[in-house]
Amino acid sequence: MVLSILAIAAGLIILIGGAEGLVRGASSLAAKLKVSPLVIGLTVVAFGTSAPELTVNVLSALNNSPDLAIGNIVGSNTANVLLILGITALIRTLKVKSSTVWKEIPLALLGVTLLFVMGNDALFDGVGFNALTRTDGIALMALMAIFLYYIFGMAKSERSHSDAKNQDDEQIKIYPYLASTGLTVGGLIALVIGGRLLVNGAIDIAAAAGLSEALIGLTIVAIGTSLPELATSIVAALKGRSDIAVGNIIGSIIFNVFWVLGLTSVITPLPFTSDINFDVLVSVGSMALLFIFMHMAGKRRLIRWEGAVFVVLYIAYLTFLVYRG
CA 137 to each of CA 132, 148, 258, 263, 268: distance values in angstroms, whole numbers, following the listed order: 7, 17, 8, 6, 9
3-state secondary structure of 302: strand
pLDDT digits (tens, 9 = 90+) for 18-55: 877 877 887 787 777 777 777 777 777 777 777 777 77
What pLDDT does residue 159 have?
63
Confidence class for position 180, pLDDT limits 50, 70, 90: confident
Where is pLDDT greater, at 147 or 101?
A: 147
At residue 62, the pLDDT reads 76
pLDDT (mean) for 196-219: 70
Q: Please write down the HEC assignment for all residues of 146-162.
A: HHHHHHHHHHHHHHHCC
β-bridge partners, 301: 95
Average pLDDT, the chain: 82
Q: Are 52 and 255 in contact (CB under 8 A)?
A: no
pTM for this predicted structure: 0.80
Task: Determine the pLDDT at residue 164.
Answer: 43
According to CATH, the topology of domain 37-163+211-324 is A middle domain of Talin 1 (1.20.1420)
The residues, ordered by sequence, that sit 6+ positions from 52 with a Cβ below 8 Å of its Cβ are 191, 192, 195, 196, 199, 224, 225, 227, 228
More confident residue, 148 or 27: 148
| Confidence tier at 213 by pLDDT (50, 70, 90) | low
64 by Cβ neighbours in 10 Å (0-12 / 13-18 / 19+) ranks as exposed
The H or E element containing residue 235 is: helix 227-238
SS3 of residue 49 by DSSP:
helix
Q: What is the pLDDT of residue 221?
A: 73
* 8 A C-beta contact, residue 118 and residue 264: no
CA distance 57 to 19: 23
Amino acid code (one letter) for 274? S
Percent pLDDT > 70 in the chain is 90
Stretch 152-173: mean pLDDT, rounded? Answer: 59
Label residue 168 by pLDDT band (50, 70, 90).
very low
Domain ranges for the chain: 37-163+211-324
Q: Give pLDDT, residue 220.
A: 75
In 3D space, the residue among 285, 323, 284, 289 whose CA is nearest the CA of residue 309 turns out to be 289
CA distance 68 to 276: 11
The CA distance from 245 to 75, in Å, is: 19
Query: How many Å apart are CA 293 and CA 222, to the nearest integer?
Result: 24
- How many Å apart are CA 232 and CA 37, to the nearest integer? 13
* Contact call for residues 270 and 70 (beta carbons, < 8 A): yes
Find the range with the poorest average confidence among 72-81, 105-114, 169-178, 289-298.
Answer: 169-178
**C-alpha span between 88 and 5 (Å, rounded):** 26
Which range is most confident: 48-62, 176-190, 219-233?
Answer: 176-190
Could you read off the pLDDT of 45-84 as tens digits, one per residue?
A: 777 777 777 777 777 777 777 777 788 889 889 999 999 9
